[in-house]
Amino acid sequence: MRKFVVLLALAVAVLMISGCIGSSVPTKIPMESEVQETTTQEENTQPETQEDYGSWASPWDVSKPVEIDGKKYYITSLKYEYRIRYPGSEEVKEYTVIKERKKTKIEVYGSNFNSESGEIEKVKIGEYEVYEYYTKLIPKSGDVLEVYVWTNGESDVMDMYFTFPVPATMIFAGQNFVAIKLISGDRTYEMYNPAGVGNYNYMPYENGDLGWFTNSEEVENLYGSFFAVYQFPFWSALEEENLYTPAEESFSYMGISYNYRITPQSTVVVAGHKFRTSKVEWTYSFTGQGSAKGYAVLTPSLPVPLQLEGVFAVQGQAWYAYMKLLDIGLKEA
């Protein structure tokens, strides 16, 4: 029954992806690049003391603690390489993405109408403890983008999209939104929401134009491509599989099919911890709509892939995505 549900979800996902990508077809699609293990160290044998069962039980969910070597940790930061090729593009764009989240303190501002001068004035409200979500997007060429989002406590929305290379404009939603600041080259934007810290005496304060971010085709493609990978329903099929055991699966129904192969690999060391890994290769197709091919290197202990690469073709259009985890920050729960 679960396989059937996953297949139906695949069909929905293909249709969703078709509405997110462009109208042109790339002339070349890079694929099957040489696999490079995501780690600073590698061992060729698997420890006999490791458990014999491990599934990818919570794909992409970084809001919950992870269990490593019998202890629980929160993921506080990520650093990964990300490559994408947009439909219609002639090149693969490369980025380094740094994500961090932590408690900190910031000055909060608001605005007030001066009845004497008739002008809107900036008002310093005070210093508050907030939760900071930080993004640093470093392109191979072009300006670095830094995004600070501050919330009154941890945010379910920001945690859900913490892995994304760029945040969405939905960050303005929610009662606990306090402030945001974006910096890229000589362009800046900031906005403070006094209500986010319980102060309703002042209006929000805004400085700069946000249009360069919200209207950016590059930002749109970065977010859209990662959303397609993040929402790929195939991940759910792995929740039933033991990644420590070699396996192959083929399934089809009503024009929708997928195939995958699980190959246990070696152990790797990330952030000072050992992880057993498996390579999962997949293909899927939806007759008359699209197809996809790719692989991911996974460890059951982490909800993010150590590496993935895939090509997605939908209704004659195609795009390519590659991700490699470089580092991860952990804090004992």
Across the range 128-141, mean pLDDT stands at 96
The fraction of the chain above a pLDDT of 70, given in percent, is 83
pLDDT confidence of residue 308: 95
Bigger pLDDT: 196 vs 256: 196
Burial class (CB in 10 A: 0-12, 13-18, 19+), 201: exposed
pLDDT higher than 60, residue 6: no
For the whole model, what pTM was predicted? 0.85
Across the range 116-131, mean pLDDT stands at 93
pLDDT confidence of residue 146: 97
User: For 228-272, what is each residue's pLDDT tens digit?
Assistant: 888 877 788 788 889 999 999 888 888 888 899 999 998 999 888
pLDDT higher than 70, residue 23: no
pLDDT confidence of residue 34: 37
pLDDT higher than 50, residue 120: yes
| Banded model confidence at residue 184, pLDDT cuts 50, 70, 90 | very high
| Banded model confidence at residue 5, pLDDT cuts 50, 70, 90 | low
Tokens of 261: 């192969």
Burial class (CB in 10 A: 0-12, 13-18, 19+), 117: exposed
pLDDT higher than 60, residue 207: yes
| Banded model confidence at residue 172, pLDDT cuts 50, 70, 90 | low
| Banded model confidence at residue 58, pLDDT cuts 50, 70, 90 | confident
Q: Picking from 24-28, 83-87, 99-103, 119-123, which range would have the lowest pLDDT averaged per residue?
A: 24-28
What is the rounded average pLDDT for all residues in the chain?
A: 83
